[in-house]
Amino acid sequence: MIKSLKVKHFAIIDELDVTFKNGMTVLTGETGAGKSLIIDAIGLLLGDRANQEMIRTGEQFASVQGLFSIESDRLKASLNTAKIPYWDDEIKIYREISMQNKNIIKINDVTVTLLQLKEITRHLADIHSQFDTQRLLSPQYYLDLIDGFRYEILAPYLENYTADLIIYQAAYQNYMKWLSLQKELQDKLEMYQFQLKELTNLKLKTDEESLLEQEISVLSNFDKINLALQSAITVFENGLTDHLYTLQNELSHLASYGLNFEKESEQAKNAYYDFEDLEKALKHQLRDLAFDPDLLNQMNDRLNELDKIKNKYKKSISELIDYQQMIEKAIDQSENYEEYLLKEKKMLETAHFNLVKSAESISKVRREIAKQIEKELKSVFHDLVLKNTEFKIEFKTKDSSDIMKKEMFGPNGIDEVDYLISTNVGETLKPLAKTASGGEMSRMMLAFKTIFIKSQSLSTMIFDEIDTGISGYVAKQIAKKLKAISATCQVLSISHVPQVVAIAEHQLRVQKKEMNKRTIASIKELSFDERVEDIAEMISGEKLSNTGIQGAKELLLEN
C-alpha cells in the first residue's frame, strides 16, 4: 500500500505532504482543485511518462516521492531481480522532472530506468482512470485486459511467441529478398564472371604490395646498402670485438681483486657476444646481397599491375580480395538459384510452423483464462446491479496457415477477441462497445478491476471517478463493492457521489486558493463534522440545507 506522498512544484501543487491509511480513502473537492493531480503524481511513481508541462510555472523541476509497503512476494522477486535492496518491507520511489531534461528515477536510492520502474510497480498498485473505462469501447485493448488477468501464467508463452515471431520475420525477409534477387543475379552474371576471371588470374595476396615495395627498395639502393655493409664490417675487422674481449677480461680481473665490478664485467661479456653475432649477421647479409635487374623490372611491373587493378575497381588489394569472394558467392547463387531459394523456403516453413505452434499455445491458455474471467465476472455483476447480465468473451482466431501472410501474426498472437453482453433476459449477446450505457460501462470496468486485483494480489487500487454517471441504489452498490475491495486492498478513490464518499473510512479534501497571485493546491483529512458538511454540499448543492446535513449524517452513521 502507499503510505505517504510528497509532491513539489507539480502543476498547481507547490508543496504537498500527505499520509495515506489502510482501508478506503476518498478524495473530494471542487472540479479543478487538484484531485486528479494527486493521482497523476502517484501515476508517475508507478511508471507513467513525464513531461516538462508538469513542472509548476516558474520552477526548474518537479519532484514526487512515495513510500510504499511491500506486501507481495512478486514485488520482492522483482526487486531482487533488479538488485534493489529493501528493508522493513518498504520501498521509496522518487521521480524528478527537470526543465533541462535531466530526469531522475530512483527506487530506494538506486537509479532505475522507466521500464524497470514499470516492471516493479505493476506488482504494487493499479490506477483506474476514465481512459480505462473507454478501453471497454475499444476492442484493440481487450486482449490486454485478458492477458493482465493472469499475466504470470501467460508471460512464458508470450516470450516464446515473441522469439519465434522474430525468427519468422527474419526468415520471411530473407525469402522475399531471394524472390527478388534472381533477376539481379542474372543481369550481373556475365559481368561477375569476367571480373572473377580477371581477379583470379592476378592471384592477389593481402601483403604482396608491402613486400614488393620493400624488395624494390633494396634492389634500387643496392650500391648504398653494399657500401654500408662493407663499412660496418670494416669496423669489426679493425678489432672491435677484440677490444671488447680485452675490456671484459680486465674488468674480470678487477672483480677478482675484490672491487665491485661483477656487473660491469658481465655487461662487457654480453656486449662481446652481441657484437660477435652482429658481425656474423652483417657478413651473411653481404654474401646474400645480389643485384638482379631483371627481378627488379619484374617487381616494378607487378606493382604497376596492382596499381592499375586498384584504380580500375577503386578498391584496395584487401578490398579486392573480399570483392572476389563476394562475386564468387554471387555466381554460385545465380547458377544454383533454385537450390538456394528452396533452402530459404524450408527455413521459412520451419519458422512459420514454430510460430503457429507458439501462437496456438497462447490461444489455448488465453481461452482458459477467458472462461475463468467469465465465471468470476458473473458473481461480481450481481453485486453491481447487473443481475441479468450475460457476458461472453468471443475469440476470432486468424487463419495462420499461409506462410506468406505475415500480417496474420500480431505482437501478442493470432487472437482477436470481442466482449459480448446482454443486460436483459431473452436478449441476444451483442458487442459490449455498441450496447452498454455509460453507467453500465463504469460498473463493467469496476467488475474487471475487482477480479484483476484478486488475481494480481495488488496492495493498492486507485479509482479516478469510477462512479461517474450513477446515483441512487446503483451508487450504493458500487460504494459497497469499493468498500469490500478495501477489506483486502487499500483503496483510494476520487468521487463526487455521496454514497461512495460516505462509505469510506477516511476522507481527504483537496482545495485550491490564491496566494501572492499564484494558485496553490492543498489537502486535508476531514473530521466527522467536516465530512458531514462536505457530503451535505454534494446532496444539497452549493447551499447547505438541514435535509442535506441530516442525509449526510445518516449516510456516515450507517457505515
Instruction: Give CA 406 to chain center in angstroms.
Output: 24
Structural domain includes residue 253: yes
User: Is pLDDT at 436 greater than 80 in this prediction?
Assistant: no
Of 58-72, 136-150, 319-333, the range with the lowest mean pLDDT is 136-150
User: Is pLDDT at 403 greater than 80 in this prediction?
Assistant: yes
Q: How many domains in the chain?
A: 1
Calpha distance 252→245 (Å, rounded): 11
Q: What integer is the mean pLDDT of 504-525?
A: 87
Q: Which three cell numbers stand for residue 18?
A: 500527505
- Percent of the chain topping pLDDT 90: 36
The range of the structural domain enclosing residue 301 comes to 181-337
Q: Where are the beta strands (DSSP E) in 70-136?
A: 90-98, 104-107, 110-111, 125-128
pTM above 0.75, yes or no: no
pLDDT at 383: 83
Structural domain includes residue 426: no
Calpha distance 449→436 (Å, rounded): 17
Q: What integer is the mean pLDDT of 262-279?
A: 82
What is the DSSP-derived secondary structure letter of residue 87?
B
Structural domain includes residue 373: no
Structural domain includes residue 433: no
User: Is pLDDT at 68 greater than 70 in this prediction?
Assistant: yes
User: Is pLDDT at 427 greater than 80 in this prediction?
Assistant: yes
DSSP H or E stretch at residue 136: none
Structural domain includes residue 302: yes
Average pLDDT, the chain: 87
pLDDT at 394: 93
Confidence of residue 230 (pLDDT cuts 50, 70, 90): confident
Calpha distance 210→134 (Å, rounded): 73
CA dihedral angle for residue 79, residue 147, residue 455, residue 379, rounded to 10 degrees: 160
Structural domain includes residue 230: yes
User: Is pLDDT at 8 greater than 80 in this prediction?
Assistant: yes
pLDDT digits (tens, 9 = 90+) for 233-246: 888 877 787 787 88
Of 393, 448, 441, which Cα lies nearest the Cα of 417?
393
* 515 burial level (CB within 10 Å; 0-12, 13-18, 19+): exposed
Confidence of residue 131 (pLDDT cuts 50, 70, 90): low
Pick the residue with more confidence: 161 or 545?
161
Structural domain includes residue 364: no
SS3 154: helix
User: Is pLDDT at 166 greater than 90 in this prediction?
Assistant: yes
pLDDT at 323: 92
Highest-confidence segment of 172-181, 257-266, 347-356, 453-462: 347-356
**What single-letter amino acid sits at 391?**
F
Confidence of residue 135 (pLDDT cuts 50, 70, 90): low
Q: Apex CA 281: angle with CA 209 and CA 276, to 5°?
A: 150
Q: Are 199 and 320 in contact (CB under 8 A)?
A: yes
User: Is pLDDT at 542 greater than 70 in this prediction?
Assistant: no
Q: What integer is the mean pLDDT of 21-36?
A: 89
Q: What integer is the mean pLDDT of 427-436?
A: 82
Q: What integer is the mean pLDDT of 194-218?
A: 85
Q: Are 537 and 509 in contact (CB under 8 A)?
A: no
User: Is pLDDT at 517 greater than 70 in this prediction?
Assistant: yes
pLDDT at 345: 93
pLDDT at 258: 66
Calpha distance 167→351 (Å, rounded): 6
Structural domain includes residue 236: yes
Pick the residue with more confidence: 193 or 541?
193
Confidence of residue 130 (pLDDT cuts 50, 70, 90): low
What is the DSSP-derived secondary structure letter of residue 22?
S
